[in-house]
Amino acid sequence: MEYPAGDKSGSSGAFLGGATCTAVGDAVSNPYGARWFTGDTNTTARGDLDHYRQVFDMMKRDEIIWEPYPDDTLGTLCEICLRGRDAWRATVPLICFQIVEWHQPDRVMRQFGMQQHIPSAPRQPDNIHGITLRGKTDENWSATYVPLIQLWSCRSENVCTTDPQIGILSASSEYMRWYTSHTRRWITRKYAIKGRTTDVLEVIQYLSSPEGRSNTISLTDLLDSIRHEAENILFFMKEEDRLIVARTNAPVLTQEPTPVEVEINMPKKRVECQGIARGRAREEAQQYIIPPLPPRQEGSYRVPSQEPASSLMLTYQYHPS
Amino acid at 136: K
Task: Name the DSSP letter for residue 33.
Answer: T
Can you point out the beta strands (E) in the chain? 2-4, 20-24, 27-28, 93-96, 99-102, 299-304, 313-318
Question: What's the pLDDT score for residue 171?
Answer: 81
> Phi first, then psi: what are they for 2, rounded to 5°?
-130, 145
Question: What's the pLDDT score for residue 41?
Answer: 54
Question: What's the pLDDT score for residue 189?
Answer: 81
Hey, what's the torsion of the CAs at 40, 42, 45, 51, to 10 degrees?
50
> Phi first, then psi: what are they for 114, rounded to 5°?
-120, 160
List of residues 6+ apart from 97 with CB closer than 8 A: 133, 141
The answer to whether 77 touches 33, Cβ cutoff 8 Å, is: no
Tell me the C-alpha to C-alpha distance, in Å, between residue 172 and each of 108, 169, 308.
19, 9, 20
Q: Is the dihedral of CA 295, 297, 298, 301 positive or negative?
A: negative
Q: Which residues of 34-64 are buried (b: 16+ CB within 10 A; e: fewer)?
A: beeeeeeeeeeeeeeeeeeeeeebeeeeeee
Angle at alpha carbon of residue 145, lines to 141 and 151, rounded to 5°:
140
Question: What's the pLDDT score for residue 266?
Answer: 63
CA–CA separation, 44 vs 87, rounded Å? 36
Bridge partners of 301, per DSSP, are 316
CA–CA separation, 25 vs 1, rounded Å? 9
Residues in the chain: 321
Tell me the C-alpha to C-alpha distance, in Å, between residue 76 and each of 27, 247, 289.
9, 68, 48
Question: What's the pLDDT score for residue 275?
Answer: 57
Residues of the chain with pLDDT under 70: 1-30, 35-47, 216-217, 266-281, 305-314
Instruction: Tell me if residue 92 falls in helix, strand or coil.
Output: coil
Nearest to 79 by CA among 122, 26, 20: 20
Question: What's the pLDDT score for residue 151?
Answer: 92
10 Å CB burial of residue 195 (0-12, 13-18, 19+) is middle
CA–CA separation, 284 vs 52, rounded Å? 39
CA–CA separation, 127 vs 117, rounded Å? 28
Amino acid at 117: H
Give the predicted TM-score (pTM) of the model.
0.63
